[in-house]
């Protein structure tokens, strides 16, 4: 049996992925949505995140083969998540995210202007909630009821998280990519070059919350090729 394990961005909460999880489940896909909220409040964040993920899967009692799906900031951590499990991980799927950069910190992989902008907003060692990083609130893309739940879940992540080196873990197994927004076009193109199955939607970064049927169809298309 194959189980799809969904991981939300560390800068958001599980509600950002719940519509996608519900859509997959309604299609008969075995799915587990992991809640990582409480592990990102203090450093070392990567270590806490990966440990909590492994504990969550052990507590859930999942068996068989797993496909790990990471959205946004969870994507680069997928090899670390897989390495922490004693279960059979069949594949990794990156959902509108950067690809892994083992040994590099977030601030080494993004536009220096964004790093400067985010760093200037740090208060008492914490970042503002993700929706406050930008000139335009990205959560306005989401219907009001879900928007408030997502806003309430969004944590104030330690600045140290963006300075921490990502786990030095390599993954040699199958991978796929689902592109939701133009922001990650370069990552999708790299996935193409690597020979991964890639599905592209003309949507936005939070499409798992607003267009779950389209995202589920793209994800299943990738899985069928893996």
From CA 15, how far away is CA 103, in angstroms rounded?
30
> Which pLDDT tens digit goes with each residue over 59-109?
998 888 999 999 999 999 999 999 999 899 999 999 999 999 999 998 898
* Average pLDDT estimate for 171-197: 97
Q: DSSP H helical segments within 1-111, as ranges?
A: 18-26, 45-60, 78-83
> Which pLDDT tens digit goes with each residue over 112-150?
888 888 889 899 999 888 988 888 889 999 999 899 999
The domain segmentation of the chain, as residue ranges, is 2-225
Instruction: Write down the pTM of the prediction.
Output: 0.94
Looking at residue 225, its pLDDT comes to 96
Q: How far apart are the first and last CA of the chain?
A: 15
Residue 192: Cβ within 10 Å count: 14
Residue 75: both structure tokens together = 């994507």
Looking at residue 38, its pLDDT comes to 66
Burial letters 167-185, b for 16+ CB under 10 A, else e = bebebeebbbbbbbbeebe
Residue 159 has pLDDT above 80, yes or no: yes
Q: Give the distance, in angstroms, between the CA of residue 96 and the centroid of all CA atoms in the same chain.
A: 8
CATH 2.40.40.20 at 2-225, yes or no: no
Looking at residue 133, its pLDDT comes to 83
Looking at residue 156, its pLDDT comes to 87
Look over the chain and give the mean of its residue pLDDT values, rounded to a whole number.
93
């Amino acid at each position: 049996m194959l189980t799809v394990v969904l991981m939300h961005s560390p800068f958001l909460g599980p509600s950002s992925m719940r519509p996608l999880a519900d859509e997959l489940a309604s299609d008969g896909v075995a799915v587990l949505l992991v809640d990582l909220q409480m592990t990102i409040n203090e450093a070392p964040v990567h270590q806490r995140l990966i440990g909590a993920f492994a504990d969550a899967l052990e507590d859930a009692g999942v068996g068989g083969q797993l496909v790990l799906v990471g959205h946004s900031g969870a994507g680069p951590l997928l090899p670390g998540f897989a390495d922490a499990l004693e279960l059979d991980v069949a594949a990794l799927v990156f959902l509108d995210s950067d690809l892994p950069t083992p040994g590099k910190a977030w601030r080494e992989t993004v536009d220096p202007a964004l790093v400067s902008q985010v760093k200037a907003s740090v208060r008492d060692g914490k970042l503002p909630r993700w929706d406050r990083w930008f000139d335009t609130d990205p959560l306005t893309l989401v219907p009001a009821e879900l928007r408030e739940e997502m806003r309430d879940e969004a944590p104030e992540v330690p600045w140290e998280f963006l300075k921490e080196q990502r786990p030095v873990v390599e993954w040699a197994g199958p991978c796929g990519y689902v592109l939701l927004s133009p922001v990650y076009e370069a990552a999708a193109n790299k996935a193409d070059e690597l020979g991964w199955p890639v599905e592209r939607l003309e949507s936005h970064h939070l499409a798992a919350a607003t267009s779950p049927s389209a995202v589920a169809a793209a994800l299943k298309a990738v899985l069928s090729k893996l």
